[in-house]
């Protein structure tokens, strides 16, 4: 048996829409599927605007630019996240500032944010890690108090909810990734969402070479923009996937429930706060052990029986370009050393979950 960590679930609908896009010959970033995907996504998240972009990193970069992040500016983010979050701040000449995560959500700790706000802070970037929402109310409160932007990184949390509202529609801008292992997958791809008319204009323009909409036919650009567009073919995939999102979220939630029943002793299971709907993008568990080497031994054992796993993100300040011991965060390091992503794709079956859980129990010698 070989069980991969996450694979997309592509069926007849995807094939039908992609074939239609190809047959139409609209294979670049114009065509009915671009608008169709954007409109339906905006409706799903509950925002006024949604714009497709070529990946989640581009989504975050555009968010930085639209919020005016520039040289010397600071953006506060959790220490535990994917490196793209920090890189996009650097692209703009700014500096990421790392905050610890909470032990019971594994997302940014609002209580630690306030300690890190300075006169240079421009934005807070909560990340809805592995499918669980960050605690947004105190973050939005701080943003209001200190006049900061809130850029939600919802790359890993399509359809997750905070107090019944979809993440990505709670801050100033929401950013999504549709990389092949995400709940909605277009191969590469991303989306930015917002309710704000001015931010929307900037996002839309910057992703498309900053064309001046009034002088488009004369090929005049009102600034320095980017080509961050997504193709009609990928949007055809995206629309088909979006029409199936309830099915995918059910698979993730059912599999998480199955893992939770099969695992327990020796492990800390993934959280779901009373105010949250966790979509369990990556089913994640933390080994309840002193020595981090046990996690690596378990990964080796699972590999030897055909199970692919992934260590959780190490805190960004351990990554070579960001090495900085003055940023160290206790929970982020505890989590980074002991956390493990288990197979949890859109096609993962109960049989696979049971097999993985059994191998883990064997390793931990839990009956
Ligand atoms: C939390 C987070 N942010 C941003 C990204 C970047 O997205 P992409 O790989 O589509 O550029 C990812 C991708 O995995 C992610 O997990």
Q: Give residue 75's pLDDT.
A: 98
Please report the DSSP string for 64-117 in residue order: HHHTT--TT-EEEEESSS-THHHHHHHHTT-EEEEEPBPTTTSSB-HHHHHHH-
Do residues 213 and 40 lie in contact, with contact meaning Cβ atoms separated by under 8 Å?
Answer: no
- Atom index in ligand 1 nearest the CA of residue 189 equals 10
Q: What is the mean pLDDT of residues 48-64?
A: 98
Distances from the Cα of 338 to the Cαs of 114, 334, 356, in angstroms?
A: 27, 6, 17
Q: Tokens for 307?
A: 């199970």
pLDDT at 367 exceeding the cut of 50:
no
Find the angle CA(17)-CA(22)-CA(28) to the nearest 5 degrees: 105
Sequence-ordered list of residues with C-beta below 8 angstroms from that of 326, at least 6 positions apart, any chain: none
Q: What is the pLDDT of residues 104-139, one digit of tens each?
A: 999 999 999 999 999 999 999 999 999 999 999 999
Residues paired with residue 127 on neighbouring β-strands, in sequence order: 153
Residues paired with residue 150 on neighbouring β-strands, in sequence order: 124
Q: Tokens for 252?
A: 């993730």
The pLDDT mean for the chain works out to 97
Confidence of residue 328 (pLDDT cuts 50, 70, 90): very high
- Choose one of 80, 179, 191 to mutate for the ligand 1 pocket test, by most ligand atoms within 8 angstroms of C-beta: 179
How many other CB atoms are there within 10 angstroms of residue 197's CB atom? Answer: 9
Give the integer Cα–Cα distance in Å for 152 and 193: 10
DSSP character at residue 10: -
pLDDT at 309 exceeding the cut of 50:
yes
Q: When comparing pLDDT for 289 and 299, which is higher?
A: 299
- Choose one of 131, 156, 184, 279 to mutate for the ligand 1 pocket test, by most ligand atoms within 8 angstroms of C-beta: 156
Using CB distances shorter than 6 Å, the residues near ligand 1 are 55-57, 81-82, 84-85, 127, 153, 155-156, 177, 179, 190
Q: Give residue 120's pLDDT.
A: 98
Report how far ligand 1's centroid is from the alpha carbon of 215 (Å).
Answer: 34
């Amino acid at each position: 048996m070989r069980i991969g960590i996450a694979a997309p679930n592509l069926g007849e609908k995807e094939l039908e829409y992609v074939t239609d896009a190809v047959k139409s010959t609209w294979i670049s970033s114009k065509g009915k599927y671009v608008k169709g995907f954007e409109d339906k996504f905006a409706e799903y998240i509950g925002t006024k605007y949604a714009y497709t972009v070529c990946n989640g990193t581009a989504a975050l970069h555009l968010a930085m630019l639209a919020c005016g992040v520039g040289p010397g500016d600071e953006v506060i983010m959790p220490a535990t996240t994917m490196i793209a979050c920090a890189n996009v701040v650097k692209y703009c000449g700014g500096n990421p500032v790392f905050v610890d995560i909470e032990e019971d959500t594994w997302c940014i700790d609002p209580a630690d944010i306030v300690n890190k706000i300075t006169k240079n802070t421009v934005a807070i970037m909560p990340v809805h890690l592995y499918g669980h929402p960050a605690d947004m109310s105190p973050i939005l409160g701080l943003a209001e108090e200190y006049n900061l932007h809130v850029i939600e990184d919802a790359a890993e949390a399509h359809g997750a909810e905070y107090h019944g509202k979809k993440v990505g529609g709670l801050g100033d801008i929401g950013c999504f990734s549709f990389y092949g292992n995400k709940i909605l997958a277009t191969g590469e791809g991303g989306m930015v969402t917002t309710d704000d008319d001015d931010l929307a204009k900037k996002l839309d323009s910057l992703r498309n070479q900053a064309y001046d909409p009034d002088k488009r036919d004369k090929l005049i650009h009102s600034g320095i923009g980017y080509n961050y567009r997504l193709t009609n073919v990928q949007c055809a995939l995206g629309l088909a996937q979006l029409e199936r999102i309830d099915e995918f979220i059910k698979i993730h939630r059912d599999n998480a429930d199955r893992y939770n029943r099969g695992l327990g002793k020796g492990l800390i299971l993934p959280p779901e706060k009373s105010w949250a709907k966790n979509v369990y993008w990556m089913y994640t568990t933390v080994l309840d052990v002193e020595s981090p080497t046990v996690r690596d031994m378990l990964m080796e054992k699972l590999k030897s029986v055909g199970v692919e796993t992934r260590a959780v993100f190490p805190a960004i300040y351990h990554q070579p370009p960001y090495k900085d011991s003055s940023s160290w965060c206790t929970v982020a390091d505890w989590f980074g050393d002991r956390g493990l992503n288990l197979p949890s794709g859109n096609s993962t079956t109960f049989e696979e979950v049971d097999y993985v859980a059994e191998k883990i129990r064997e390793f931990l010698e839990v009956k």
